[in-house]
Amino acid sequence: MLLSKIAETLGIPIPDQCTDCEIGALCSPESANENDIVFLSNPKFAAAVETCNARFVIVKNGQTLPGKICLEIRDPYVGYAKVAQLFEDTNPLFGEGFSESAIIDPSAVIHESTSIGPGSVIGANVTIGAATRIGAKCIIEKECKIGNGCRIDSGVVIRYGCSIGNYVIIQSGAVIGSDGFGNALENSVFIRIPPFGTVIIEDNAEIGANCTIDRGNFEPTVIGNGVKLDNIIHIAHNVTIGENSAIAAQTGISGSTTVGKRVIIAGQVGFVGHINIGDDSFIGAKAGVSKSVDPGSKITGYPARDLMTMRRIEAAQQSLPELLKDMRKLKKELAELRTQLGHDQ
Amino acid sequence: MLLSKIAETLGIPIPDQCTDCEIGALCSPESANENDIVFLSNPKFAAAVETCNARFVIVKNGQTLPGKICLEIRDPYVGYAKVAQLFEDTNPLFGEGFSESAIIDPSAVIHESTSIGPGSVIGANVTIGAATRIGAKCIIEKECKIGNGCRIDSGVVIRYGCSIGNYVIIQSGAVIGSDGFGNALENSVFIRIPPFGTVIIEDNAEIGANCTIDRGNFEPTVIGNGVKLDNIIHIAHNVTIGENSAIAAQTGISGSTTVGKRVIIAGQVGFVGHINIGDDSFIGAKAGVSKSVDPGSKITGYPARDLMTMRRIEAAQQSLPELLKDMRKLKKELAELRTQLGHDQ
Amino acid sequence: MLLSKIAETLGIPIPDQCTDCEIGALCSPESANENDIVFLSNPKFAAAVETCNARFVIVKNGQTLPGKICLEIRDPYVGYAKVAQLFEDTNPLFGEGFSESAIIDPSAVIHESTSIGPGSVIGANVTIGAATRIGAKCIIEKECKIGNGCRIDSGVVIRYGCSIGNYVIIQSGAVIGSDGFGNALENSVFIRIPPFGTVIIEDNAEIGANCTIDRGNFEPTVIGNGVKLDNIIHIAHNVTIGENSAIAAQTGISGSTTVGKRVIIAGQVGFVGHINIGDDSFIGAKAGVSKSVDPGSKITGYPARDLMTMRRIEAAQQSLPELLKDMRKLKKELAELRTQLGHDQ
């Protein structure tokens, strides 16, 4: 990769002191060779970067490192992401075209630039756009629509009728469009409620490995533009997740809950159904969220409370056993005084 | 779907004021057209139902809505479930019969009315009853028995020797019959304990997407009649779940624990092994259950406690930081009085 | 199985009072026949073992049971594990050799003693050692290395470039080598960070059903020798798990966290990223671990604390509502005394 291409990607000129040249790889400081590039975002790693073999470093504006050629930008971590995308191998894993062993319904309409890996099954009336890469043994059931430039990793199941936008990534083992958990109770027996809705995943969204996203009952379940889901996340029927929200692993969102835009949700969080999480909120790890929260809220804990309140409660819990002892002592001492001063006991 | 058929399903006559007619679809109020049917269960949605386009509404006995033809039953939500099943498309997703690309062991015995999707693998000595629908790329390993009228969604793995009853639904990505987590520790090294048991899933049970159900060590792991499992649930070896219990997403049950009948378990709950959860119990979301509970118990929290006790504790936690301050103040004031009144400090 | 073979496996002679003979099966007391063998580890089951049909029992050194032929060893549970391995059927589930329907890249190098089940896909330049058993519909993407004697169950996905040692077990639905959850935030939009690392799973490790193990960003994610993972566990990018550690179901470990050797982690635990868990630590169920801990630590709770401290806090919580009432009463009584004694209020 040419240094000039990297600089262009970062939106900066080539550093003054050097001419264009070939960069070998984007690396960690530990594994870098002389012609590789590394990045310095967290000051904790400054020493490792300074002493590493790489000559080229993506740094924060104004930062210099002795003996290094520094590419300065506002946010080196963003720079890292962009340069990593440059170096990414985006060739289809199983080669171009449609694998001979793929089982493609004749009614499916698939752009010729799209690749389909061995053993994948494409159902009736499926449409798939251009330059989408589908791995091995994926199942795209009937009536699904998939856009351009998507990456559907090996072993993904997209059930019937779901819509996937452009540049969406769905990782292995994810199930899109499973039935929601809908049951009515009659005489202690559950009567299943079949769903009629679908799932819509909008552009640039990413779905982690082994996630499950249930279809809606009537209206669709919606994963908004640019939403990022980590692994093993459960999204129930009729949930809506607003654009550019991110959710860490093993979180679960119950039916009909709405998550706003730019919401950050940590791992192993649980949400009850039918609540609204306001835009730009933050939800701490393992929180149990049972009520709607306003935009910009920061909550954590179980039951979830305001973040600072919860931190104070958690700190105070440490003193709880001592508090009980103190209380016993105080009650005794106070009773003594009251007796001494002629109060009824 | 004829109105008369819907009324019959609900166990009621056609409403007085109308003759039989064709109903287009079961819909949400938002999406309904004039000839569609909706339901009104939660009074919160009364206004939406009253102003929607649908002429037909499933309502609670005695309820009337201006301008609507009301089908009155005891529980409209149950009515919704039953009518939804009427409208459900139960045709095999990949067509009738055995797909050409399915890989079926010659020793398997499969009823001719059963459908098998593309690329599914059916192992040796498997038996499958009538009218069962098996999706694409399912794996049914050797010696499994599957009953009549089941729905095995694309990508399910049923490992060797497991038994599935009639009218069972297993959703995509679920793994039935994985090895349990059995290890003996010798000199800090784990020695694996191979299991010899299987999994039995009884009639009308439903298993959500990406669930895992481990086989028993000797006796089988049992999912009882009519049990409903949401997505991403872990059921360990030798667990037994009694009939008509329901478990929400991401819950995990450790080895040899017994869950009774008609137990309701919310999401992200964890159970230790070797305990008994009595019939008709309720377990709140995210609870950590480490002890057996009597029938009819209602528990929540971590460690799990009686529901009302836990709610009081949770409410009190809010005051804990203030309580610590109060205690410091009281200790100081009481010490002053004690000094004043001649007590030793 | 000959009794002499079982005794040899346990490292003991055949018991004095008997000659060699054929043992039918290793069983639970409930299901045992006369010529079967059972084990007695937990004294709770002594009565069941004493009254069961089996003549042969693995017991603790020095223990005798009337009418039984006792095989005495130091730890009968370890004996159970070893004898269970003797009785295990280790034939490939779909027969020897490479299934005709497997899709094997011509560049793959696979030992002839390895078996590959129907429909499995083996990518370019994959190498697989001897006597490894690969189930149906597994996907081994390009450039993977798999050792000898492994068991890769039906439906496993091993993504490109990952290394699996010898005698590793990976259960159905597990995804090895998914992309980590790496994103940089620029103007409220997440920029994806493609990973360049892989996953290394060392000898004798076991990965449960539907687990996900993300590849590292630069350096690999490492699952050490003899590590045992239960089902539905999430291991993020660049995590390292030291040898002979065991992790129960539904636990999640965030990026770059290091777990030491011989660490025991219970179910549904969550770890933040970039922390170190010392060797020989124990982490209780559902703990939320946000800080590094020293070797030998025993922690639990959320936030995680020392186990005994946490138990005391949990016990004290029971009294928290009462404590609040006591505090209100004491404040009132103390105020009265202070007034009586001439203090300012």
Query: pLDDT by residue (tens digit) across C80-99?
Result: 999 999 999 999 999 999 99
pLDDT bucket at B87, cuts 50 / 70 / 90? very high
Report whether the peptide linkage leading into residue B303 is cis, meaning its omega lies within 30 degrees of zero: yes
| Active-site amino acid positions of B | 237
Q: Which subunits have 3 or more CB–CB pairs within 8 Å of chain C?
A: A, B
Q: State the count of interchain CB pairs (< 8 A) between A and C.
A: 196
Q: Considering only CB atoms, which chain B residues are within 8 Å of A159? A: 153-154, 172
Which of A119, A208, A302 is nearest residue C181 as measured by Cβ atoms? A208
Name the region of B137 (left: φ>0; alpha: ψ -120 to 50; beta: rest).
Answer: left
- CA dist C56 and C75 (Å) reads 16
Question: Cβ of A190 and B323 within 8 Å?
Answer: no
Residues in chain A with CB shorter than 8 Å from the CB of B30 are 218-219
> In this complex, which chains have at least 3 CB pairs below 8 Å with chain A?
B, C
Q: What is the pLDDT along chain A (345 residues), one digit of tens a residue?
A: 999 999 999 999 998 878 999 999 999 999 999 999 999 999 999 999 999 999 999 999 999 999 999 999 999 999 999 999 999 999 999 999 999 999 999 999 999 999 999 999 999 999 999 999 999 999 999 999 999 999 999 999 999 999 999 999 999 999 999 999 999 999 999 999 999 999 999 999 999 999 999 999 999 999 999 999 999 999 999 999 999 999 999 999 999 999 999 999 999 999 999 999 999 999 999 999 999 999 999 999 999 999 999 999 999 999 999 999 999 999 998 888 888 888 865
- Tokens describing residue B41: 């269960």
- Domain range list for chain A: 3-87, 103-307, 316-345
The two three-digit tokens of residue C152, written as one number: 């890769």
Task: Enumerate the β-bridge partners of residue A299.
Answer: A283, A306
Between chain B and chain C, how many beta carbons pairs sit less than 8 Å apart? 196
Q: Would the CB atoms of A88 and C194 count as touching at under 8 Å?
A: yes
Q: Are A24 and A36 in contact (CB under 8 A)?
A: yes
Q: Quote the minimal CA–CA distance from B101 to chain A in Å.
A: 8
No. of helices (H) and no. of strands (E), chain B: 5, 35
Angle in degrees, 0-180, between the axes of helices C320-340 and A320-340, rounded to the nearest 10: 30
Q: Is the pLDDT of residue B341 over 90?
A: no
What's the pLDDT score for residue C342? Answer: 83
Q: How confident is the model at residue C344 (pLDDT cuts 50, 70, 90)?
A: low
Identify all chain A residues contacting B262, using CB atoms and an 8 Å cutoff.
188
pLDDT at residue A345, as a whole number: 52
Nearest to C179 among A93, A171, A343 (CB): A171
Which residues in A lie closer than 8 A to residue B330 (C-beta atoms)? Answer: 330
Q: Which helix (H) or strand (E) holds A83?
A: helix A76-87
Mutate to test the interface with A, among B268, B283, B329 (most CBs of A within 10 A): B268
Smallest Cβ–Cβ distance between C320 and the set B303, B316, B337 belongs to B316
Task: Report residue C315: phi and psi, to 5°.
Answer: -65, -40
- Interface residue of C302, C305, C313 to substitute, partner A, most A CBs within 10 Å: C302
pLDDT of C345 higher than 70? no
Mark yes or no for CB contact B270/C250 under 8 Å.
yes
Average of per-residue pLDDT across B78-88: 98
Instruction: Give the residue among A61, A140, A129, A54 at the shortest CA–CA distance from A102.
Output: A140
What is the structure's pLDDT at A289? 98
Hey, do B3-87 and B103-307 end up sharing a CATH topology, with the first three levels equal?
A: no
What is the model's pLDDT at position B129?
A: 98
Give C12's pLDDT tier (boundaries 50, 70, 90): very high
Helices and strands (H and E) in chain A: how many = 5, 35
Of the partner residues A179, A315, A330, the one whose CB lies closest to the CB of residue B334: A330
Active-site residues of A, by number, are 237
> What is the percent of chain C with per-residue pLDDT over 90, rounded to a whole number?
95
Q: What is the least distance, in Å, from the CA of A257 to any CA of chain C?
A: 22
Q: Which of A171, A317, A338 sits opposite C178 (nearest CB)?
A: A171
Helices vs strands, H then E, count in chain C:
5, 35
- Cα B176 from chain centroid (whole Å): 15
Tokens read off for C153: 């169950």
Q: What residues pair up with C258 in beta bridges, in sequence order?
A: C240, C276
pLDDT value for B256:
97
pLDDT at C340: 86
* A116 neighbors A133 (Cβ within 8 angstroms): no
| Class in CATH terms, A3-87 | alpha beta
Residue A159 has its nearest CB partner, among B80, B172, B244, at B172
pLDDT at A17: 77
Supply φ then ψ for residue B197, to 5 degrees. Answer: -90, -175
Paired strand residues for A109: A127
Enumerate the residues of chain A whose CB falls inside 8 A of the CB of residue B171: 175, 178-179
Q: In chain C, what residues touch A94 (CB-CB under 8 Å)? A: 121, 123, 142
- pLDDT tens-digit profile of B226-276? 999 999 999 999 999 999 999 999 999 999 999 999 999 999 999 999 999
Alpha helices in chain C (DSSP H): 3-10, 46-50, 76-87, 307-317, 320-340
pLDDT tens, position by position, B326-340: 999 999 988 888 888
Residue C24 contacts residue C32 (beta carbons within 8 Å): no
Residue of A nearest to C160 (CA): A93
How far is the C-alpha of B278 from the C-alpha of B287, rounded, in Å? 16
**Whether A219 and B30 lie within 8 Å, measured CB to CB:** yes
Instruction: Give the minimum alpha-carbon distance from B88 to chain C in angstroms, rounded to a whole number.
Output: 29
Q: At residue C220, does pLDDT exceed 90?
A: yes
Give the residue on A whose Cα is nearest the Cα of B85.
Answer: A194
- The structural architecture, per CATH, of the domain C103-307 is 3 Solenoid (2.160)
CA dihedral B135, C141, A176, B222 (to 10 degrees): 60
Nearest CA in chain A to C137: A137
